[in-house]
Structure 1
């Protein structure tokens, strides 16, 4: 009896651990300054790739300063080979390592770990404070991390008005969000719902349509009311819309500008008191935002 043929590639793939996203808190603290970043990374990155992410997030000078990662338990330990993967040393919340760039020391601590899918960005700066020579600009950082090629590829998948809003506002933080939404995935929605979404926006003025797409992008973040309103007002301010006094539009005023379209989103349960669960709303926003 002949032995079964084993596909070695499939066998190796089965042995590979599932990739995770690690949220790390990175801190550089000295007597005269503190600089912090919160970064989400693919745990399959090598430490050489992680170094490049850190250099971008902290805007480290473009010079040939020596850099190294070190294990850290009770104290600084052995140097980490940059060919190793992040997951080899950072797997659980609370674990930490050291990173040295030139004469500067950084502490890297795992805050969260969760499973990732293929559409999650490889690296994303999710917060921070302080800076060295270049002011902290999370949008510019994430645009660099994402890269022009990826930005263009993702924006090619969305409706022209969505692309226009992102480009005009220069809020490229939306690109990883749209990438994670997986706009090419098949949706399963009733024909009436698809027809309703295709009719949006109902507004005819540029201000009203900008308010709608800004609201749609804010709702796609799947955050609470405070986050949604913050994203909405930030986006409209970046697009140049202000109230009669020249002050940034408040959330209520912005929502009133696209009330007709919001009524449709409420009807299909993309928002409002009877909104579907976040996982069930994904298809609604895929259908709404993509070409």
Structure 2
């Protein structure tokens, strides 16, 4: 508002023809410099790495993996300037997520195997496996462990889950491994249980990649297809066969050495002292 004398008061809004040296003018040097600094600050490329911070914090806090990864992707895309919903000229975040899901929907095929797995376990799959392995008599510790790992590889290749350590390894295989020790003892039984856990990990980790509809194979196939290199999931699963055979061979060597060490320790513990042998 103009003052009585006709001149503008210091707090008045500048007119269209105001000089750029007036502090309130939009093109004042100080104000323009501040805008440039703020623009450079928001255009800093490192802001896009906040998605990795969200991912690291979420995984460290053991939050659900799916929502954490999705949130990290949305944060990164938002900081990169992608709109939530795209238009004709540019795709948005939701458009990109929907397109990626449609192109890689084969990953969800493993859901079709869940009813069959649950039905097999409910009808006594654990009991059948226990009876089958219980018929193996006069076997060594290494044979029990390698046989268990081979069974886990076979179950993984068929897409069947045996509930891992809790429901199968510890209650079924661990007692068999302890019974196969030449001279059982609490310490040697603990070593056998640890070896059972190792066999479970080896068989499950490498065997599941032999199943064409496993999440790992489908994920690799989807990524390769998105990169322009479509692959067959069956042939892709067969590529895991060499490492499965190598893992079985190395595990057999490991378990044979463990059995030899436990047998040697048992023989030393049962030998009478040299003084007692002389008195006899």
TM-score normalised per structure 1: 0.20
Higher strand share: 1
Tell which structure's C-alpha radius of gyration is larger.
2
Larger RCO (CA under 8 A, 6+ residues apart): 1
TM-score normalised per structure 2: 0.21
Higher helix share: 2
